[in-house]
Amino acid sequence: MGNPTISWYDDNAEQLASRYDQTDAATLHGLLAKWIPSGSNVLEIGCGSGRDAFFLASLGCTVTALDGSESMIAEARKKLSAQEAANVSFQTALFPLPDDHLLLSRKFNALTAIAVLMHIPDTELFPFACQVKSLLEDGGIFFCSFCCGERQEKDVRLYVDREPGEVQLLFERLGFRLLAREETKDGLGRNMLWTSMVFSSPNRRT
């Protein structure tokens, strides 16, 4: 994600956090509940307002929630209750991570990237996917959701119109297996289609 994109999120964090929290996320959360087992150790890339991290914690997951915007992390921490603090930790981090980043030495049961792939430049998409693979344990779940269609907002953020077939091919070439793909309408009523894809990392035993 380029610096202009991060700067835009930093400058608009409070307004965006409120907006995200008002979005109809029932369908998305239903998919998360279906595919990410209770008790999973989850890494969330691009946590935004913390909405989905808190939902995953309510399922009994332990969540390490990352975002490239320090201001968005600050907004998410404002909502963190003492009870949730035991299951959710927030960090500022931008993917792809530097090769010496401490997170790259860890393994997770599941990894989510919701509304993230559109912000990753083409030149960084393959390194991003390789890091996803390295962070997941054998048989781990990668859940991603991204939009297609004309954007109504006109701002400085990088938006790459990702094709589902392109994303599927990228991860399959790294050994992942597609478990599910679903298209849903935009939770804010915009003229956009969202694709959610669930992959299992190599060596899944089911």
Domain parsing of the chain, residue ranges: 3-200
Structure confidence by residue, pLDDT tens digits, 72-131: 999 999 988 877 788 999 999 999 999 999 999 999 999 999 999 999 999 999 999 999
Pairing type for strands 193-200 and 177-185 reads: antiparallel
Structure confidence by residue, pLDDT tens digits, 160-202: 989 999 999 999 999 999 999 999 877 666 777 899 999 999 8
CA neighbours within 13 Å on the CB side: how many for 1? 23
Domain 3-200 belongs to what topology?
Rossmann fold (3.40.50)
Q: What is the pTM of this model?
A: 0.92
